[in-house]
Amino acid sequence: MGRRRKVVDSVSKVVAVGRLSTPEFREAVHALSPRVAVFDCDGTLWSGDAGSGFMNWTVETGLVSREATDWIDGRYRGYLKGEVSEAAICGEMVQMYQRLREEEMRRAAKTFFEKQIERNIFPEMLALVEELRGKGVDIWAVSSTNNWVIEEGVRRFGIPAERVLAAQVTVKDGVVTDVLVDVPTDEGKVAALARAGVTAPDAVFGNSVHDAAMLGIARRAFPVNPTPGLLERSAQEGWPVYYPGYSSGPVDPK
């Protein structure tokens, strides 16, 4: 009950700040005449967590060994208890595939996204990205989910792999290693963008408190389908929020 009350209170705060209908959201984005736009992926371009979903799917389908399965299961349980950090678990959810061939990972990511995630793409976000691309906007996708899944997913949005910043390990001679390249989450998303030469994007879209630092560097921040933590941050910052499909009426706090 306490958790429910906290969420409802957060929603009330955000209502006072403001929510954008779909036409208002599109108008606000286009009014910026953005040159650079940055999108989080899970929960922002599509509903659900493709990172943990892919982890569970690869375990269930037997892609990973029993040893790797037992290890990541223990680490993920620790994460849920708050004993393992967000950055650590996101990195380990890529490292768990060490010794597999990258071509296997690409095939698995394609099958997983087609079966589990593609149907969850927000049509409004797909349309927006297409409109921005049509205007020549430089679009980046930034995610703490592994790069195989994110690169596969954002192909639907016309975002090329070279504009994807995601959790990634080194691949040597076609084989996945456990050497981390990057794990963009929290302030790490800002750092990843800076390394790519993006320090002041015009528009940033994110759904989680782990996107807050990235939203904070934008000329305008667009919280999309925000989690309770980001709802609170949006209230503090005065960021109007957007729920895909929303035009009027109360927000479902679940």
The predicted-structure confidence for 52-95, as pLDDT tens digits, reads as follows 999 999 999 999 999 999 999 999 999 999 999 999 999 999 99
Specify the pLDDT at position 17: 59
- The whole-model pTM stands at 0.89
Q: CA 222, 225, 231: angle at the middle one, nearest 5?
A: 75
Its sign, for the CA torsion 43, 142, 200, 160, is negative
CA 197, CA 78: separation in Å to the nearest integer? 35
Domain 15-242 has CATH 2.10.109.10: no
Buried b (16+ CB within 10 A) or exposed e, 220-237: bbbbbbbbbebbbbbbee
Phi then psi dihedrals of residue 117, to 5 deg? -115, -35
Give the whole-number percent of the chain exceeding pLDDT 70.
90
Specify the pLDDT at position 156: 97
Average pLDDT over residues 163-170: 98
Average pLDDT over residues 13-36: 86
Residues 6+ apart with CB under 8 A from 223: 205, 206, 207, 211, 215, 230, 231, 233, 234, 239, 240, 241, 242
pLDDT tens-place string over residues 127-165: 999 999 999 999 999 999 999 999 999 999 999 999 999
